[in-house]
C-alpha cells in the first residue's frame, strides 16, 4: 500500500513539473518554474536591495 501511495506522489509530481513549463520571453528558453513574472521581479528586487 505504501508503494502505491509513493508511486502516486511521484506521478503527480512529474505531471505537475512538466505542466509548469513556459518559454522565457527574453532568452527564448523553456523553463520549468512555478513563479509568476511578478514573483520573479519581486525576488530580484529583494535580493538587489540587500
Predicted confidence (pLDDT) per residue in 2-43, tens digit: 999 999 999 999 998 888 888 888 899 998 887 888 898 899
In this prediction, residue 32 carries a pLDDT of 84
Residue in the structure block whose three cell numbers are 528558453: 29
Q: For residues 18 and 39, give the distance between their C-alpha atoms in angstroms, rounded to a whole number.
A: 20
In this prediction, residue 8 carries a pLDDT of 96
Residue in the structure block whose three cell numbers are 532568452: 27
φ/ψ of 21, rounded to 5, equals: -75, 145
CB burial string 36-49: b at 16+ within 10 A, e below: eeeeeeeeeeeeee
Q: What is the pTM of this model?
A: 0.53
Amino acid at each position: 500500500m505504501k508503494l502505491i501511495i509513493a508511486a502516486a506522489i511521484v506521478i503527480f509530481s512529474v505531471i505537475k513539473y512538466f505542466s509548469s513549463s513556459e518559454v522565457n520571453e527574453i532568452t527564448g528558453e523553456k523553463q520549468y518554474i512555478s513563479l509568476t513574472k511578478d514573483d520573479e521581479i519581486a525576488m530580484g528586487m529583494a535580493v538587489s536591495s540587500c
